[in-house]
Structure 1
Amino acid sequence: MIRLGLIGYGKAGAAVACVLKDDPRFDLRWIARRSAQPVEENCRSIALNINTFAEDLARYPVDAIVDFAHADALLIYGEAIRQRGIRLVSAVSNYPPEQLAYLRELSREIPVMASPNITVGINFLMLASRLLRRIAPAADIAILEQHFRDKPEISGTAKKIAASLEMEDEEITSLRLGGIVGQHEVIFGFPHQTVRLIHNSIRREAFGTGAAFAVEQLMALPPGFYTYEQLLERIVREELERESIAPGAKSPCPDSANPPDQGCL
């Protein structure tokens, strides 16, 4: 069982705590927040304080930490987890350059995964979009993001999708409608066909399942700085390799007159 600590207990942090607490793979040992007030998950609460955090970490050791707090929190716990070799999964939406540089410095000694959107679905959508663009670079591409009526700005996730596809923010179409939590869609227009990749956000607990996946993957990796997409790419590569060496696997070349060493055309 993987021992976990959770930093941050806002709306997203509370949803993540609920998921991790119920997952049999993990032992959620504590939740750290600005003040050590009780939390609803019947879990130990500790103060996120630079003067006491190292002592609390020694008293309640963990294998990995999930951070759903804010960029400055890294400066409170960074040295303590470096000294103990604790893995870090960060879902902080935006690190200033100084904190990002410090995060990369930590990754030289411990495994670090940082992603502003930690859901499995949206990261898989970005990976699939990049693959499809490489397969069909001439296809027309559109990005559509839909959110609740009061969201004023373009979705940060939509901007990240656009950047991964080498598109400009001005090419994103935004809709604001009542009853929508959040939806991102990438549309590929081909001659005679259309491909739509869609991700819908339903509940904040999706962050919890995403964090659980990231922690489990990070436990098997050496020190380094990883993105969520890289964790997914690792799974994809393993699956492709498994398919290629599976016993009794058929040759990808159906024409026996075309030897494998000449490739399949």
Structure 2
Amino acid sequence: MRVAVAGLHGRLGSALAAGIRAAQDLELVGGLVREPSAPGEHAGVEELLQAEHPDVLLDCTRYPDTVKIAAAALARAVPLVVGATGWTDAEQRQLAEAAQRAGVGVVLAPNFSIGAVLAMHFARQAARWFAKAEIVELHHEAKRDAPSGTAKLTAARIEAVSGHPVPIHSVRLPGLVAHQEVLFGGIGEVLTLRHDSLGRESFVAGALLAVRRAGGLRGLTVGLETLLGLE
């Protein structure tokens, strides 16, 4: 399977590109970069798609660049895996409609870590028994969006079960990568669910799962829960 990476030289893109290179069933054919310096590298997404003909585009850029990249991929009916957060609800609806029109699959994953996805799944289960919850999400100081996409999705999943709003507290500090605590309060007890990504290598397995599955999907899939058989 031919895979191109948008944001190839970024911290996330570099980690996922290494995972693609190590996979026997995947081929890294090119990437979107600011300053091309090697074969397969391109400064424009249209140029990348036209020259390299990827089977899947893995987007590791930032919002709002990710919106334009997705539009370009879907205009060419290229399946897409998006790791960028910051998408508004309206933009997600437009993305879903565009994917349906193109007849291809798009995976929008706020977090590629399988552990983080499992933590969200466990939080939704706990919400059946605890009416009140709050979230503390902690990320590196360069992360622009706050709250994080993972925290917002976790809160939405809990609220859908409990019916109560879930406050989110954001921390941005050097030394952090990606961390989240969900605290459930009950009478005389507190349940804490915590996940820590200590390095970007933790995102590789989930990202490659999405890359391998995107071509067989149609429309928009948000999160990795469906791909992991959790829904």
> What TM-score, normalized to structure 1?
0.68
Larger relative contact order (Cα-Cα within 8 Å, sequence gap ≥ 6): 2
Matches within 5 A, 1:102-251: 102-108=94-100, 109-134=103-128, 136-138=129-131, 140-147=132-139, 154-156=146-148, 157-166=150-159, 168=165, 171-173=167-169, 179-190=175-186, 194-221=190-217, 223-232=218-227, 235-236=229-230
- After TM superposition, the structure 1 stretch with the greater mean CA deviation from structure 2, 183-192 or 101-110, is 183-192
Residue 60 (structure 2) pairs with residue 64 (structure 1): no
Structure 1 gap segments, 5+ residues each: 238-265
**Does the residue aligned with 1:105 lie in a helix, a strand or coil?**
helix
TM-superposed CA distance for 1:80, in Å, is: 5.2
C-alpha separation in 1, matches of 2:142 and 2:207: 27
Distance 1:78 1:154, change over 3 A: closer
TM-superposed CA distance for 1:193, in Å, is: 5.9
Provide Cα deviations, 1:136-155, integer angstroms capped at 9, x if missing partner. Answer: 154x4332334568989854
C-alpha separation in 2, matches of 1:122 and 1:137: 20
Alignment RMSD, CA only? 3.3
- After TM superposition, the structure 1 stretch with the greater mean CA deviation from structure 2, 149-158 or 103-112, is 149-158
Name which of 75, 82, 86 aligns with 1:94.
86
TM-superposed CA distance for 1:183, in Å, is: 2.1
Q: Which residue of 2 aligns with 1:27?
A: 27
TM-superposed CA distance for 1:121, in Å, is: 2.2
- After TM superposition, the structure 1 stretch with the greater mean CA deviation from structure 2, 104-113 or 172-181, is 172-181
The number of aligned residues is 222
Distance 1:101 1:193, change over 3 A: closer
**Does the residue aligned with 1:165 lie in a helix, a strand or coil?**
helix
TM-superposed CA distance for 1:173, in Å, is: 4.7
**Does the residue aligned with 2:208 lie in a helix, a strand or coil?**
helix
**Does the CA-based 8 Å contact 2:135-2:182 persist in structure 1?**
yes
C-alpha separation in 1, matches of 2:146 and 2:66: 26
C-alpha separation in 1, matches of 2:139 and 2:70: 34
Equivalent pairs: percent with the same residue? 27
- Amino acid across the alignment from 1:95: W
- After TM superposition, the structure 1 stretch with the greater mean CA deviation from structure 2, 65-74 or 108-117, is 65-74
C-alpha separation in 1, matches of 2:123 and 2:67: 32
Q: Which has the larger radius of gyration?
A: 1
Structure 2 gap segments, 5+ residues each: none
**Does the residue aligned with 1:20 lie in a helix, a strand or coil?**
helix
- After TM superposition, the structure 1 stretch with the greater mean CA deviation from structure 2, 12-21 or 155-164, is 155-164
C-alpha separation in 2, matches of 1:194 and 1:15: 36
Distance 1:152 1:230, change over 3 A: closer
TM-superposed CA distance for 1:94, in Å, is: 1.8
**Does the residue aligned with 1:118 lie in a helix, a strand or coil?**
coil
